[in-house]
Chains A and B, each alone.
Chain A
Amino acid sequence: MIQLLSVFIGCIGFGMLFHLQSRHYLRAALGGVCTYLVYMICSIYIKNGFIPVFLASASGALYAEVLARIQRAPTTLYLIIAVISLVPGSSLFYTMSAFVREDWDFVYSYGVETTIFAVAIALGMSLVWAIFGTFGKVKKEI
């Protein structure tokens, strides 16, 4: 609960940081909360480092893409804020601190975690874009 609340506030914070228009704050931050919820729920059921992040990122991108179509605004606006809660800030930090302590096992495991998060976020978003892009092309043909 605390985590959801802090994600919400953090997302609004990032909205302000990026100078989002204030009428978008709530929508964008809700995207962030939803993305994180998906991640939390998935990580309970799927014991895997990759899949939950992938699904969460895909759902965040989907949310952003749909909302952007409705609002006729650039997708980036919502996308960045939706996936910001997945950014592996903590594992990046632990990788660095383990590196300094020369604790190579930890460097390895946290480093891998950071990379997996980053790759999963990227792949999740790309899946959604690929689908939307194809649909757009098909629609044009018809």
Chain B
Amino acid sequence: MGEENDFGQARKILRALLDLGQALLEYGGEVNRVEDTLERMGRAYGAKGMNVFVITTSMVVTMLHKDGEEITLTRRIRKPIGNDFTKLEQLNALSRKCCQEPMKVAKLQEKIQEIKNQPYSFKKYLIGAMLSAGSFSVFFGGSLLDGLFSMLFAIFICLLQRYVQKYCTNMAVFQLFCSFVIGIGISVVTKCVPFLHLDYIMIGDIMLLIPGLAMTNSVRDILVGDTISGFLRLAESLLWAGALACGFMTAIWLSFSL
């Protein structure tokens, strides 16, 4: 009886750990961090051995429990990489705390859910996008007016990301669509208003759409030794960047030839 209980316990622990790992991945953590965290957490919860394999789209974890029972759980991850550093940091702090003194599994689950359910502030995202697009178009040599228009288009990008992205089959298609629409918009506006510079406005908005986080994380993963997941994500982010370039190029080509 006791043994069976323990077995159930191990499974519960592993399930909670997978939840944690999935959340870390989805909020923008590197693969290496996820593997490392799961390994430490498992040992903190009394596992004798942990076999953790994580790539950007799936996780496989085998845990050797202290009573000799071995269990494996896998998890497929379909959500594209997001970025929410607040949640990432909180999850990280939670796992650090847990490694020092493990809390009850039910409580861990609860805490993870609590962090996940925090409201996502779209307003903050919007303001951030406007500020960065505007200031980067000024940074690369545009006038203040260019920055202002770049901000306007940043709002547009955010709205597209919020309302249109879920209808696109994947991120590359969305990048293509988004950059094309934004490119056309910018070309039209710069044709109508003579003081504006097409290039600087576009550069500001390109900076927003470049998958910088994915690229940095992938390079990091490759160097740390997670070559498979690093290259997966690198390929993915290069594809997104290519789609972005194609979208803008088509828009520029149209605006030149009209």
Question: Which A positions have Cβ atoms within 8 angstroms of B?
Answer: 2-3, 6-21, 24, 72-74, 76-77, 79-80, 83-85, 87, 89-90, 92-94, 96-97, 99-101, 118, 122, 125-126, 129-130, 133
Contacts and interface: CB of A to CB of B under 8 A. Distances in A.
Nearest to B241: A92
Contacts of B217: 76
Contacts, number: 142
Interface string B117-158: 000110011011111111110111100000000000000000
Nearest to A97: B252
A89 B140 contact: yes
Contacts of A94: 199
B256 A76 contact: no
Nearest to A8: B135
B145 to A, nearest CB: 14
Interface stretch (B2-10, B55-63, B170-178, B202-210): B202-210
B216 A83 contact: yes
A101 B256 contact: yes
A80 B214 CA distance: 10
A17 B85 CA distance: 9
Main secondary structure of the interface of A (DSSP, over half): helix
Nearest to A130: B223
B216 A19 contact: no
A10 B216 contact: no
Contacts of B87: 19
A80 B210 CA distance: 12
Contacts of A19: 83-87, 120-121, 124-125
Given A19-B83, A93-B206, A74 B253 contact: no
B207 A17 contact: no
B132 A17 contact: yes
B127 A16 contact: yes
